[in-house]
Amino acid sequence: MEIVIDAHNVSKVYNPDTIPVHAVNNVHLHVERGEFTALVGPSGSGKTTLLNLLGGLDRPSEGKIVINGTDITDMKDNQLIDFRLNNIGFVFQSFNLIPVLTARENIEFIILLQGATKKHREERVQTLLKEIGLSDKTNTMPSQLSGGQQQRVAVARALASKPQFILADEPTANLDSKSAADLLDIMAKLNKEENMTFIFSTHDSRVIERARRVITLVDGRIASDTAAVQISH
């Protein structure tokens, strides 16, 4: 299998010169293409910090992170920005849609930054709106969408650039049960049909039930890494 994420001896220490906080402690992690993986653990276990390190949103204090064969550990900031744009999709708990842009424009924004042609942008956005079941919301503003619909747009935006993988930080935390189930159905379908790699940081049992691999963090260390028991949906 193709390894898309390879993390070696990764640690993150905050406040190293005063009262050190070891948020991530000597983590080794390999993620293969097509995984549907959940990072779980109690609050303060290091889930979000590890996700941010894997996504290049934060830098490790020690260790090395290789994404699809490219070492991002010591990249300059501008290189890292370009690398994230072209290789990593992000879905956040708070949706993070741009409020003054329509659903279409929010999705299109990423591929506009990539310099794609208008024709390519229009085709890609329409395809994604269809995949997330919101073809009728093309010109709708985020404030006019439900929470579940906003998060679906956020997933489409993350997919727009055709990234190597998607990192999702508590993507269902602000959703009701129906919206969460619908969102997970969409992501599971994309994972199965397009072999898209998803890595979740989550407390949500609904996400954990869908995951095919569950990595439990305790005090910044991997306490267990197991294949999940699959539950039918």
Can you tell me the mean pLDDT for 189-211?
94
For residue 187, CA distances in Å to 36, 126, 191, 229 come to: 9, 17, 6, 18
∠ CA(63), CA(65), CA(69), 5° rounding? 140
> What pLDDT sits at residue 232?
39
Polymer length of the chain: 233
Element (H, E) at 158: helix 147-160
CA proximity to 158, closest of 199, 211, 202, 215 = 199
Confidence band, pLDDT 50/70/90 cuts, at residue 94? confident
Write down the number of H helices and E strands in the chain. Answer: 7, 10
| Residue pLDDT, tens place only, 45-60 | 999 999 999 999 999 9
Domain residue spans in the chain? Answer: 3-97+147-227
Task: Classify the C-alpha dihedral 166-12-221-79 as positive or negative.
Answer: positive
Judge whether residue 228 has pLDDT over 60.
Answer: no
Judge whether residue 155 has pLDDT over 50.
Answer: yes
Judge whether residue 15 has pLDDT over 70.
Answer: yes
DSSP 101: S
Is the domain defined by 3-97+147-227 classed in CATH 3.40.630.10?
A: no
> What pLDDT sits at residue 35?
97
Contact (Cβ atoms closer than 8 angstroms) between residue 217 and residue 40? yes
Report the percentage of the chain scoring pLDDT > 90.
89
Judge whether residue 231 has pLDDT over 80.
Answer: no
Confidence band, pLDDT 50/70/90 cuts, at residue 16? confident
Confidence band, pLDDT 50/70/90 cuts, at residue 79? very high
- Cα–Cα distance measured from residue 212 to residue 231, given in angstroms and rounded to the nearest whole number: 10
Judge whether residue 233 has pLDDT over 60.
Answer: no
Confidence band, pLDDT 50/70/90 cuts, at residue 131? very high
Contact (Cβ atoms closer than 8 angstroms) between residue 151 and residue 90? no
Mean pLDDT of the chain: 93
**What pTM did the predictor assign?**
0.91
**Who has greater pLDDT, 157 or 233?**
157
